[in-house]
Amino acid sequence: MSPSPDDKKDTRKLKGALAEAAAATFLMEKGYRIVEQNWRNRTGEIDIIGEYKDMLVFIEVRSRSGNLAFGTPSESVNQRKINQVRSMAEQYLHFKKHYDVPIRFDVVAVILNSDMSVTSIEHIEQAF
C-alpha cells in the first residue's frame, strides 16, 4: 500500500518544522536573537526573523532529505520565492513600524537524513 497524499503532506510539514527548529538553534548558537518564527499574513510566511548585532535578518529555511538529485536546498530558492520573501519583509517592517532599520536576507539550507536527523546546515548570509 502506498502512502496517501495526506501522509506525504504530513511528512513534508514535519521535515519543514524539524529543519526550521534546527536552523533556529544553529542561528542562536551563532549569536542571533530569534524575533519571530513563521510570521505570516494572507500573502505568505517568513520562516525566521532574527536580530544579529544591529541588523534585522529575514531568513528563508530550505531543506532536503535523502537524495539531492533535485538539487541542494539553497538551489531551490528561485526568483518567485525571493520576491515573496522581500514583499513579506516589507509588510513586516511596515506592520511593526520598523523604519530605517538595516536588514539582510539570508538562507539556511538544512539536509536531513531519512531518520530526520540533521546531516548538515549551511548558512548563506546576504543570499539575495
- Please list the residues that pair with 9 across neighbouring strands: none
Among candidate residues 23, 34, 48, 49, the one with its CA nearest the CA of residue 111: 23
pLDDT in tens, 23-46: 999 999 999 999 999 999 988 999
Q: What is the mean pLDDT of residues 7-14?
A: 75
Residue 1: the pLDDT is 52
Domain map (residue ranges) of the chain = 5-124
Say which range, 10-14, 32-36, 64-68, has the weakest mean pLDDT.
64-68
Could you say which of 3.40.630.30, 3.40.50.10880, 3.40.50.2300, 3.40.1350.10 is the CATH number of the domain covering 5-124? 3.40.1350.10
Say what the pTM is.
0.88
Three-state secondary-structure class, residue 83: helix
